[in-house]
Amino acid sequence: MILVIKEAIFISNRNEPRINERIRAQKVRLIDEDGEQKGIVSLQEALDYAQKADLDLVEMAPDAKPPVCKIIDYNKFKYQQEKKTRQSKKAHKNVHVKEIKIRPKIGEHDLRVKINHIREFLEHGDRVKITMIFRGRERAHTDLGKLILDNIKEEFKELSTIEQLARMQGSSMTMVLVPKKNK
């Protein structure tokens, strides 16, 4: 029963490298703790070398012929890998695309409210997709919608750059604004 549990744990950690006795290859390309290549040796010889150094034998490149194994402290290696992933996640900034929908017959006050929302989104660092929706007979007057989008573009020329100019897609016209980098 204990044997079954150990194998279940091993199966769940497939993305982790094999260490010590879990390495299956008969011969391995050995790299010692100083990073020097020791050549191709038998698995038992590599395990003995790692045990003498009081470190672990870790399979770094299992797909290579023969597999590349390195003698390192596995816990330290695992900690450094986790640290790298945390750093990369910290550096990665999620970019959100906010969408503002307007109509060609929008009132002046309603347009001001939408413009204030666009300003907040751009200052927060989000992209803004402005969608002008045309319904029924409004489709014949796309020039009115284009005029409103041009006014919005002029309003935000200092704060943003245009990623996508206003263009028709079906019964709507879209434009995408991206905040300028101020560094």
pLDDT in tens, 76-108: 989 998 998 888 887 777 778 999 999 999 999
132 three-class SS:
strand
Name the residue with tokens 């503002």.
100
Question: What does the block give as tokens for 92?
Answer: 């990665």
C-alpha 137/C-alpha 141 separation (Å) is 8
Q: Is residue 24 part of a domain?
A: yes
- Please check whether residues 76 and 101 belong to one and the same domain: no
Can you give the CATH number for the domain in which 102 is found? 3.30.110.10
Task: Name the residue among 136, 134, 173 with its Cα closest to residue 152.
Answer: 173
- Of 7-21, 45-59, 98-112, 169-183, which gets the smallest average pLDDT? 7-21
pLDDT of residue 14: 63
C-alpha 116/C-alpha 156 separation (Å) is 11
- Please check whether residues 43 and 113 belong to one and the same domain: no
Name the band, by pLDDT with cuts 50, 70 and 90, for residue 61: confident
Q: Is residue 92 part of a domain?
A: no
Final residue belonging to a domain, choices 52, 87, 122: 87
What range defines the domain where residue 133 resides?
Answer: 97-179
- Please check whether residues 76 and 54 belong to one and the same domain: yes
The residue-averaged pLDDT of 174-179 equals 94
Evaluate whether 101 touches 133 at the Cβ level (below 8 Å): yes
Task: Name the residue among 142, 134, 119, 129 with its Cα closest to residue 175.
Answer: 129
Final residue belonging to a domain, choices 54, 87, 120: 87
Name the band, by pLDDT with cuts 50, 70 and 90, for residue 5: very low
C-alpha 152/C-alpha 136 separation (Å) is 24
Q: Is residue 80 part of a domain?
A: yes
Phi-psi sector, 73: left (phi>0), alpha (psi -120 to 50), beta: beta
What contacts 141, CB < 8 A, 6 or more positions away?
104, 134
Number of domains in the chain: 2
- Please check whether residues 131 and 74 belong to one and the same domain: no
- Please check whether residues 63 and 127 belong to one and the same domain: no
- Please check whether residues 140 and 169 belong to one and the same domain: yes
C-alpha 174/C-alpha 145 separation (Å) is 10
- Please check whether residues 78 and 112 belong to one and the same domain: no
Is 11's pLDDT higher than 80? no
Is 183's pLDDT higher than 90? no
Question: What does the block give as tokens for 71?
Answer: 């003698």
Final residue belonging to a domain, choices 62, 87, 112: 87
The residue-averaged pLDDT of 118-146 equals 92
pLDDT of residue 182: 64
Name the residue with tokens 């101020």.
182
- Please check whether residues 112 and 173 belong to one and the same domain: yes
138 three-class SS:
helix
Our CA angle for 97, 102, 103, nearest 5°, is 150
pLDDT in tens, 67-78: 999 999 999 989
Task: Name the residue among 172, 166, 175 with its Cα closest to residue 104.
Answer: 172
